[in-house]
Structure 1
Amino acid sequence: MIHGPCGELNLNSPCMKDGKCTKRYPRELIHETQTGGDGYPLYKRRKPDEGGYITTLKMPNAVVDIDNGWIVPYSPLLSKTFDAHINVEYCNSVKSIKYICKYVNKGSDMAVFGLGNKTDEIEQFQMGRYISSNEAVWRIFSFSIYDQFPTVQHLAVHLENGQRVYFTEKNAEAKAEQPPHTTLTAFFELCSTDDFAKILLYPEVPKYYTWNTSQKKFMRSKNGAIVPEYLGVYSSHALGRVYTVHPNNAEFYYSRLLLHTIKGPTSFTALKTIDENECETYREACFRLGLLESDKRWNTTLTKASLTNYPKQIRTLFEIILTTCAPSNPRELWKTHRESLSEDILRQSRITDPNQECSDDIFNQALLLIEDICLSINNKVLSQLRMPALIRTKYNIYDSYLTREQLYDVQQL
């Protein structure tokens, strides 16, 4: 892995004289590696008098002195594995990556040119953007520079009374009494008054209606293809895209899922009404519509684990399922497997009371242990994971905090 300043070692290079490079080698000899904020670091290359290595390389026509400045960082393992010269450099700045991908990041071509006049005492320099002949002709003929097709209408999504409202001190009361419509509330109102809108999903509305920003309402499109059987309805190529919602924001996420499934809802209540039965949550409505996976596999997993694993291991598995796998009905999972999850707590209680059986107190202690681990995994209590509420006494809280603060290695400290 010996390279000269001009690439591979070449004694015939014009910069080589008597086996030595007459140009200043860019890789300087330094005692320690220097990592600046401007690209690649300067690697440690010690001088011979500071412990660096030096050797003499005999060539057919000359003898060359090789020191650390000639060595390129490389991995012997990679070179041996692939039988090739593979340089290893460490990028410590985005500038290095930009250099590699410069055609993506550099922007328009630039050119600096000067306007000189012999009568002027000061030269005038101006920086301008270079335009090729093809682009120049395109602009001369006034062709469009960019185009967007089809039109994309962003659609708001929020829970009831959860829309964003801007107000001042003067109009705060008026805004609170009658907040302005969003595209979602305007969609509910449209479905209440327009029969055609009742057969549409929320993302399909922009294809047949345009959003009037000033009036905050959907208006029927006046141009486009005629929709058969519906007088005065025209379809366009416009697309509707509902803003994304993270699954961790549970009810918010499930309401968005329903908007892509239920046609023509007239209100938030109608959105979660399935077969004329109003559900308590949007998640329950999604479950009734079959939009969520069943917990059959999680139920089978916990059943198999309870046959061979200790209760603590089963609780760990249950905690991972709760925090990372988003089960559809975690309460039912807990109800089915709570005895195996709290078996060790029951056994410990029977030391003092042999007649002790499973009770709410035993299950509560198991829930306390489960919640402590869930808090450490994703910082959520059981109520946020749709699990039964537990009773945490002051002693439990103190004991949990005390245990957490004592988790340190005395010998290491």
Structure 2
Amino acid sequence: MIMANQSIYESIIKITVDNGWVVPYSPILPKAFKAHINVEYCNSVKSIKYICKFVNKGSDMVVFGVAENRNDEITQYQMGRYISSNEAVWRILSFPIHDRMRISFFELCQNDQFTKTLLYSQVPKYYTWNASGKKWNRRKQGRPVQDYACIFESDAIGRLYTVHPSHAECFYLRLLLIHVRGPTSFLSLKRVNGLQCHNFRQACQELHLLDNHWDATLGNALAAGSPHQIRTLFAIIIATCFLCDPLQSWENFKDFMTQDILHRMRRIAGNNDLMITLEMFNEALIIIEVICLEIANKALTQLGLQAPNRHA
């Protein structure tokens, strides 16, 4: 019997147990709260933001319903954000949150003539960010820039975070920063041809950036997208991105968005010389309107386009 047990033990895989198996804990806490409590030493901002609901990563979004009875959960709802105590105090005391580097960029444009020729994303090529002094300094190494003394160019790439169009003013601010050279303040970004605009959206409209931006997006999609994909993209843009002139964008790209319908009609008619007709455009508009209704519950007439003839 002893020999049998010994053979069984020898057949078991040996496992080495070291300090990696030990979970740090405080004996007082489990005893006081009668629960399993681990202890972690927070020695970096990454640990702190984990405890404080990722306050340094941005605010979380929560959706909750308000109803008179539990069976009717979607009749009324409200959107809210969770803000931790740290972020709440930061906002109550009106401490700066986002714009320190942009303000430093504006100050640089006020004092440095060369910076007035640059876009916001181009600054890291010629300047380095001094974290302690909170300012931009000229690079001291790199390729000399012609016609500018003591200016050196590097291979550094400046990037801007993407912003969803639903975050309206932030999206328009980003659009201005990637097109306007050498702004000296937020007010200067809103000043176009002597006109002081009320907001960033109006400034983008005056500079004709909005529709040009989306036309460029659709133009890039033509290289690899199918007509169905381009129609879907166009529907998303007009339904959620508030184009100034969606009719002009339709006129610019309607031929591409109708190519699959044309190929189908050529195959049915057995005529490869068949050209696009108004009926084919109408069918494309019907498909686009269906997508807009699914996305935003809006018909094309509510989005600045003509209503398709569904009877046809």
TM range (shorter): 0.3 to 0.5
Of structures 1 and 2, the one scoring higher in RCO (CA 8 A, sep 6+) is 2
TM-score (norm 1): 0.32
TM-score, normalised on structure 2? 0.41
- Could you say which structure has the higher strand fraction? 1
Return the index of the structure with the highest Cα Rg: 1
Q: In proportion to residue count, which structure has more helix?
A: 2
